[in-house]
Amino acid sequence: MEGIGSGSQAGPSTGGGGQSLGEFFREVNAIQEMIRNIKENMSGIEALHKRMVTVTDDESSRMSRQLDLLISETSRIAGQISNKLAVMEQNNKTLTTGQDQTQMRLTQHATLAKSFIDTMTNYLRMQKENEKKYKERIVRQFRIVKPDVTQQEIDQLLSEESGQIFTSQVLSKTQSEQSRSILTEVQDRQRDILRIEKSINEINKMFGEVKALVLGDDIKAKKISDTTDVIQDNTNQIEQDTTPTIKIAGKIKKVNGT
């Protein structure tokens, strides 16, 4: 890898902001590993979501804590990746290497950013799907307690601001043990929804910045590629134009015995 760009004046070990090529690829590997960690967390989060709706209250509480940890860790890792990509982008702005290495770094950065965006898009899709399932379950459970529930009450039940307050009010007026158990589960699912919505908001805040980095890299890489093509075309033309001169010079040398 470090041989890339070795023909440039800056040498194979120099880079943006004084970052060597070895340091650059260590960051690349670190980001790739973090993206893999997020994918592993996604599998764990999805498994917990599926199990939480079928377990006892005690197990549900334990899984809820596990879910909190996984979601928090995923948001933390995503934030670290976003910061690393931003630093890498800043380093790329001050590249002192040749065109080949410059384009390689820009392309590598854009590839990482796109991989991150794809991963987090899948994560958001998964979280939104689970949020939808929780809301559907809340409505089904609530209809058992209150079969004549109105659409206005459903909207209030699913509201981020007033959902838990509304459920608490209904719970306080409920005498049946079964109904109280159902409403307690509804409150648990409401907390799950709030947790999901919080994680979705956190990830969405990162997306704008990362997408801007990708767009910037694509534009810069395209400019470098276009410039390289022009240079290559000019070089080919120069070679064609100078070929007859080289042949004539060779003949003159032979005539002169040199």
Give the closest residue to 195 by CA, choosing from 74, 72, 82: 72
- What pLDDT sits at residue 119? 95
- What pLDDT sits at residue 182? 79
Q: Tokens 């379950």 appear where?
A: 137
Alpha carbon distance 156, 25 (integer Å): 51
Read off the pTM: 0.70
Alpha carbon distance 188, 178 (integer Å): 15
Q: What are the chain's domains?
A: 16-233 (1.20.58.70)
**pLDDT one digit per residue (tens) for the chain, 258 residues:** 333 333 333 344 444 556 788 899 999 999 999 999 999 999 999 999 888 877 766 787 788 889 999 999 999 999 999 999 999 988 888 877 676 788 889 899 999 999 999 999 999 999 999 999 989 988 988 888 888 888 988 888 888 666 777 777 777 777 678 777 878 878 888 888 888 888 888 888 877 667 666 655 555 545 444 433 443 444 344 345 434 433 433 433 343 444
